[in-house]
Structure 1
Amino acid sequence: MNVTDSVFYAVRFPVLVASGLLSSFTVFVVVYLLVKKPSLCQDGKVFFLIVLVLFRYLNCFINLITVTVTFWFSGISQLLCSVYLLFEYFIVFMEYNCLSAMCVDRYVAICSPFHYQSLCCFQNILKILFGLTVLSCGMPLAGFIYWTYSISASEDGGSFLWCQGHSLNHALSFKIPWITLLGLWFSFSIVVIGFCYIMVYKEGKKAGVIIPSNKRATKTIVFQVLQLSLSFFPLLVSLVLFQLPEWRLMKWSTYSVIEAVNFIVSTLAQTICPVIYGLRSRSIRDIVKRLFCSWKLRTKLHPAS
């Protein structure tokens, strides 16, 4: 393992540890809230937010294990690398789908509240979650089959980035179909988010008043589009750069630096944004305030000796 790879792993380790700690705290708060108030699962937005946080925590945990094993053993088998990449992109598609589902949930709740009361039950939400999971599995699985077929016909067995070796051509050939799929789904998610909030604004305008949910819609759509963009545009920028003739001749160290920057941006965005969503939910925010105030009161009454 050369100096470039060591620096590449040195960058990933602290980012993953920080993301894991924040995700662990978020998961702890989520579990505490569900124990204190199980009815939160009946709220579609809160339910999909919980799913989003749990998947981010699981993704961070798998990432940390994979990077540790890769660094310790100087590479992993092609099968394990394939499984890891399949899971990684499943998480990304699931994230897109959960954000879109949260927008649709708010749209139905605001524009058709009576219909929403009959739709929003735990059984229906589970059915929707199952459908999103199947959809999130289908697209990465198609890309996984394509990639497996393409590397089986390659000369060197399809080395990919830090999984097995330094093969820039295979890294680029892997990214093109994946980013194409992500780009299509990114565009679809943006259309869904935009449509839902346009309808929310029209509902508020029709009523002749600016309802509270209408005011929060602007901030919410900014956060959701920002999270989607930070998880997709770094990949898109790197792909555009790599298509230029002069970048085709770049060194592996340059490629590693670009990948490290992409990893930092996407990981931090995907970790912090669910926390922001949670704090912007009034029901969750009130419970967190009571939890913090009670802990602060106990600290004052029983100070540490």
Structure 2
Amino acid sequence: MAATNISSMYTSVFILDGVPDLESSHLLISIPLFIMFITSVLGNLLLLLLIMMEPRLHSPMYYFLYALFLTDLIVSNSIGFKTFCILWLNQKEIPFISCYIQMFFIHCFSSVESGVLMAMAFDRYMAICSPLHYASTLTNALIVKIVFGLVIRSTVIVIPCSWMASRLPYCQSHHIPHTYCDHMAVVHLACTDITINSAYGLTAVVLVIMFDMSSIALSYVFILRAVLRLSTKKAKSKAFGTCTSHICIIVIVYTLGLFTFVTYRIGHIAPYIHVIMANLYLLIPPTLNPIIYGVKTKEIRTAALNLFTLTAL
């Protein structure tokens, strides 16, 4: 039986149905999703290019931003091509193995994004609370180790999800009521008990989010305490200004993420609302990150202006 299941992974397919109950509106739904997707791809590519080309952006803060933009690019592209094939061309089939690979990339790099946001909170803590040790502590070698460690952490956590899902028997419907291979959307199709899969997925999400959010919250407690000790209102405003972009992205990412993860298990909402929100969770942060940081960060605005000026000449 196990051998049969393993071989079927490579010969069979899942059917991604798109947005449940709104199949007739797929074209209309695709318009805002496509705008966000193109904006995220172009915006993140532009800022990756700026950070690589501009020497003034070669500092710890921008290296973490580089990791964030690269992660967002991977996440948005993990769903983009297949989603629009479904919504535009009605090409709904996806091979079993491709489905599990997509599942891995989506959940792995969503976890990486959470970790990068945590690392950026540590960066802000060092910059505000210990500025004299900032450059000597956050060396290039340490930043590489932090980012590499976050990728390893996410890989180790997510691989069991994809592997356990691939071992389940799908002997009934292969129709996934979604636009991409979300872990819980796939395992709900199995004709066996999925308690272990559901419990592991929920535990992994809760542990990652609790650890990252607790670390972020602790960093900002120390940041707030340090800022309130500053003597002038201008100094306080400048210190808070360096954190506002980060706080905005944190609120967006964790609000959408928690809604998406929890509603599969304890929520009772219409399936089409869940699918739309799940797509927004993967597209809104990659769309807004380049815009928010591009607008709020003077150095990035200057680098972009210089690039466009050179291009025009």
- TM-score in terms of structure 1 length: 0.77
Please tell me whether residue 226 in structure 1 is matched to residue 252 in structure 2.
yes
In the TM superposition, residue 72 of structure 1 has moved relative to its aligned partner by: 4.7
Q: Which of the residues 150, 167, 173 maps onto 1:132? A: 150
What is the rounded CA distance, in whole Å, between the counterparts of 1:259 and 1:26 in structure 2? 24
Aligned-pair identity (%): 19
Please tell me whether residue 217 in structure 1 is matched to residue 243 in structure 2.
yes
Q: Which of the residues 100, 104, 113 maps onto 1:95? A: 113
Residue pair 1:190, 1:225 contacting (<8 A) in 2 also: no
| Distance change in 2, residues 1:219/1:39 (3 Å) | closer
How many pairs are equivalent? 283
Please tell me whether residue 38 in structure 1 is matched to residue 38 in structure 2.
no
In the TM superposition, residue 183 of structure 1 has moved relative to its aligned partner by: 2.8
Q: Which amino acid aligns with 2:80?
A: L
Please tell me whether residue 76 in structure 1 is matched to residue 94 in structure 2.
yes
Matches within 5 A, 1:232-243: 232-242=258-268
Residue pair 1:9, 1:67 contacting (<8 A) in 2 also: no
Which residue of structure 2 lines up, in the alignment, with residue 192 of structure 1? Answer: 215
Q: Which of the residues 287, 298, 302 maps onto 1:271? A: 287
Residue pair 1:90, 1:140 contacting (<8 A) in 2 also: yes
Structure 1 unpaired stretches of 5+: 248-253, 300-305
| Distance change in 2, residues 1:148/1:168 (3 Å) | closer
Q: Which amino acid aligns with 1:30?
A: L
What is the rounded CA distance, in whole Å, between the counterparts of 1:196 and 1:100 in structure 2? 9
- Structure 1 residues 55-77: Cα deviation after superposition (integer angstroms, max 9, x where no partner): 22232223122234555543112
Q: Which has the higher helix share?
A: 1
- Measured on the aligned residues, the alpha-carbon RMSD in Å equals 3.5
Please tell me whether residue 52 in structure 1 is matched to residue 75 in structure 2.
no
Please tell me whether residue 110 in structure 1 is matched to residue 128 in structure 2.
yes
Q: Which of the residues 197, 206, 211 maps onto 1:183? A: 206
What is the rounded CA distance, in whole Å, between the counterparts of 1:148 and 1:215 in structure 2? 46
| Distance change in 2, residues 1:30/1:238 (3 Å) | same
What is the rounded CA distance, in whole Å, between the counterparts of 1:229 and 1:215 in structure 2? 22
What is the rounded CA distance, in whole Å, between the counterparts of 1:186 and 1:241 in structure 2? 19
Q: Which of the residues 156, 171, 189 maps onto 1:170? A: 189
What is the rounded CA distance, in whole Å, between the counterparts of 1:118 and 1:167 in structure 2? 47
| Distance change in 2, residues 1:62/1:204 (3 Å) | closer
1:240 is paired with a residue of what secondary structure? Answer: coil
- TM-score in terms of structure 2 length: 0.75
What is the rounded CA distance, in whole Å, between the counterparts of 2:186 and 2:211 in structure 1? 32
